[in-house]
Amino acid sequence: MAPALLLVGGVYLYPIAATLVYSVATIDIGTYTIESFVGLDNFTRVISSSAFIPTLLRTLYFGLLVVLITLVPAMFIALLLNEQFRGRTFVRLVVLLPWAVPPVVGGVLWGQMFQSEFGFINRILGELGLPDDTIWLADPALALHSLAIAEAWRWIPFATLFLLAGLQTIPTNTYEAAQVDGAHARQRLWHITIPQLMPTIIPVIIFVFVWAMKTFDIIFVLTRGGPGGSTTTMNYWVYEQGFETFQFGTAAAIAWLLTLVTILVIGILVLINRLIFANKEVR
């Protein structure tokens, strides 16, 4: 127990405290020591910079986008895997695989998928007679959405497994009763499955949202925050400030702001969760 505490303390608690100290300081790059304390200067500079609001909104939008592109297919796949059919194990394996793909491999792989000249996506669109010259990763309006697809592909396995585990806890006689009452498949999905699954869906949303806001690898490999800053999320901004311009104080301030935003997002989602359950009890 003690060594584990020591490691966790050294690698987590110390950095959390140190980043907080750095956020009100400037760091000397020559000696890597604190140069001077500047109070809240780093925070005010970040918040008043013209990049702050767009970056914050971009981060939240990216999180929401990844949640949507992850959850909708994952729900569909979980419903599919909940049925008995031949080849189910194979389908489950194919769905699970992206989880095992290292993020950087995912980056390279989607880079080749989205590549405008030889990439598979444009090639296939071309074969179907659709426009085949879209520049997915270099178009400021499209790049963030392309990244969201690549990121969601990695989270679908996790989301599917949890939704599937949730589905298997719904008693089958609920469905049988609904069937007797003449409920259609779609009605059963909206009135039984999804409400019963809410205790699983909300945590999955929280996890995916938080992880999407922390995305680094895919952005770094595919777009490096570009074109024109259109894929710079707050987390990527931390990297740029810290390891491209070596402004560790500013980077620490942004990292803490991102943490606050993350906690706020979790708080709101937990509140929504509570409200849903409060409603249920009234009914």
Partner 1 sequence: MRATKQKQVAIYLAAIVTVVLMGFPLYGVVLTSLQPESVIRSPELSLIPTTLDFSHYASLFSDGHPVPLVSAIGNSVVVAMFSAFLGVALAVPASYALYRTSAPGRRLMMGALAAIYVFPTLLFIIPLYIMWVNLGVFDTRTGLIIPYTAFVLPVMIFILGTFVRSVPMEVEEAARIDGATTRMILTRIYLPLMKPGIFAVLILGFILSWVEFTTPLLFTSQLDIMTVSLALFRSSFDIQIGQLAAAAVVTAIPVVVVTVVFQRRIVGVLTGADR
> By C-beta, is 10 or 280 nearer to partner 1?
10
CB 79 within 8 A of CB 167: yes
Task: Return the closest-CA partner of residue 69 out of 144, 120, 3, 16.
Answer: 144
Least spacing, CB of residue 283 vs partner 1, in Å = 29
Among the candidate windows 49-57, 80-88, 138-146, 188-196, which touches partner 1 by CB under 8 A?
80-88
* Cβ at position 278, least distance to partner 1 in Å: 24
CB of 227 to partner 1, least distance (A): 18
Of 143 and 256, nearer to partner 1 (C-beta) is: 256
CA 160, 61, 138, 234 torsion-angle sign: negative
Give φ, ψ of 142 to 5 degrees. Answer: -100, -25
CA distance 60 to 56: 6
Nearer of residues 43 and 110 to partner 1, judged by Cβ: 110
Cα gap 100→122, rounded to integer Å: 26
**Cα-based torsion angle of the residue sequence 74, 79, 80, 85 in order, rounded to the nearest 10 degrees:** 150
Indicate the residue among 16 and 177 with the shorter CB distance to partner 1: 16
Subset of residues 3 to 32 that bind partner 1, contact rule: CB under 8 A: 3-5, 7-8, 10-16, 18-19, 22, 27, 32
Kindly state the smallest distance separating residue 123's Cβ from partner 1, in Å.
Answer: 4
Helix 143-167 with 52-81: angle, nearest 10 deg: 40
Closer to partner 1 at the Cβ: 10 or 199?
10
Nearest distance in Å: CB 18, partner 1: 4
Q: Return the residue of 68, 135, 210, 272 that touches partner 1, per CB under 8 A.
A: 210
Choose between 4 and 278: whose C-beta lies nearer to partner 1.
Answer: 4
Which 143-182 positions form the footprint of partner 1 (CB under 8 A)? 153, 156, 161-162, 164-165
One residue of 94, 130, 270, 275 binding partner 1 per CB under 8 A: 94
How many residues belong to the site for partner 1 (CB under 8 A)?
A: 87
Comparing CB distances to partner 1, the nearer of 160 and 230 is 160
Task: Check residue 37 for interaction with partner 1 (CB under 8 A).
Answer: no
Which of positions 212-271 make contact with partner 1 (CB under 8 A)? 213-214, 216-217, 220-221, 234-235, 238-239, 242-243, 248, 251-252, 255-256, 258-259, 262-263, 266
Q: Among candidates 92, 90, 58, 56, which has minimal Cα distance to 74?
A: 92
Residues 6 or more apart in contact with residue 21 via CB below 8 angstroms: 34
Cβ proximity to partner 1, 112 vs 174, nearer residue: 112
Quote the CA–CA distance of 35 and 27 in Å, as a whole number. Answer: 5
Residues 6+ apart with CB under 8 A from 209: 63, 64, 66, 67, 265, 269
8-state DSSP, 34: E
Report 95-134 residues binding partner 1 (CB under 8 A): 95-105, 107-113, 115, 117-118, 120, 123-124, 126-127
For the CA atoms of the chain, what is the radius of gyration? 23
